[in-house]
Amino acid sequence: MQLLTPENWKDYELLDVGDFEKLERFGQYVTIRPEPQAVWAKTWSNADWEKQAHVKFIPRSSSAGDWKKFKQMPDQWKINYKFKLPNLKESEINFRLGLTSFKHVGVFPEQAVNWDAIFTFLSGIEKPKFLNLFAYTGGASLAARAAGADVTHVDSIKQVVTWANENMQISNLDNIRWMVDDALKFIKKEARRGNFYHGIILDPPAYGHGPNGEKWQLEDNISEMMSEVLKVLNPDKHLLILNAYSLGFSSIIIENFLRSYAKQHQSALQTGELYLQAKSGVKLPLGVWGRLTK
């Protein structure tokens, strides 16, 4: 099992985390947001946190809240991520961030390790095809497109797909295929059509809904989802990344989903955890992952 964390990202930094909160820097602005996994005490004092923070998210319910500003800052701003990988051209992608009513700002920073893997793998393939399921604001889609792939981006929320499209434009990229669809329904259609992808990433939520009210529950639906996903993975050359951010979900579960395919197709199988390293010294776990590579 491997532990992976982003490195050398100048526009993002986890400063401290504890007491169910995290202190983060996105570009020049510092936020305080809830973090359910931070069951330990903060390393730095509350005074240190508030001295550095520009804004704090105050929950009103389990799904919504408000932002309290301590210092002047815009409601929207931009950051970038640079690919500086051995023997590959330098490239970068850009994100428009925003203070949303559901505590997110528009990027999951721990996913940068997957962007690197996608960019590296697809850069070595002629005419690669890439599929991003549960795609959010499109970090993986941007990484794949920057590597020259034909990219399909699937998410059930129209506003989030629009946000991803904006990120594509400010990254000076184009021609990503946008699909507002239920991920499970979409992958079943692709399997029936006989379509194949060199690269696939899926980062399913613990629970959610499709555009027409389709219910998604990770424990109930992930087995069927993985069965369909493996049908559309190019058997000769592929990278599959499966993430699961769910309390109590083990990387051994991920391994069990992928091991038969890995054996059948002689793919390399890796599993592990994603985490963010705080400046204060602690580590924040942010889900388990598995990869098939061939």
* Average pLDDT per consecutive 10 residues, the chain (294 residues; last block may be shorter): 94 98 98 96 97 97 93 98 82 97 96 96 95 97 97 96 98 98 96 97 85 82 93 97 83 93 96 97 96 98
Fold of 76-293: Rossmann fold (3.40.50)
What is the structure's pLDDT at 108? 97
What is the structure's pLDDT at 247? 63
3-state DSSP of the chain: CEEECCCCCCCEEEEEEECCEEEEEECCEEEEEECCCCCCCCCCCHHHHHHHCCEEEEECCCCCEEEEECCCCCCEEEEEEEECCCCCCCEEEEEEEECCCCCCCCCCHHHHHHHHHHHHHHHCCCCCEEEEECCCCCHHHHHHHHCCCEEEEEECCHHHHHHHHHHHHHCCCCCCEEEECCHHHHHHHHHHHCCCECEEEECCCCEEECCCCCEEEHHHHHHHHHHHHHHCECCCCCEEEEEECCCCCCHHHHHHHHHHHHHHHCCEEEEEEEEEECCCCCEEEEEEEEEEEC
What is the structure's pLDDT at 177? 98
pTM, two decimals, is: 0.95
What is the structure's pLDDT at 211? 85
Q: Where are the domains of the chain?
A: 2-69, 76-293
Q: If one looks up domain 2-69 in CATH, what number appears?
A: 2.60.40.1180
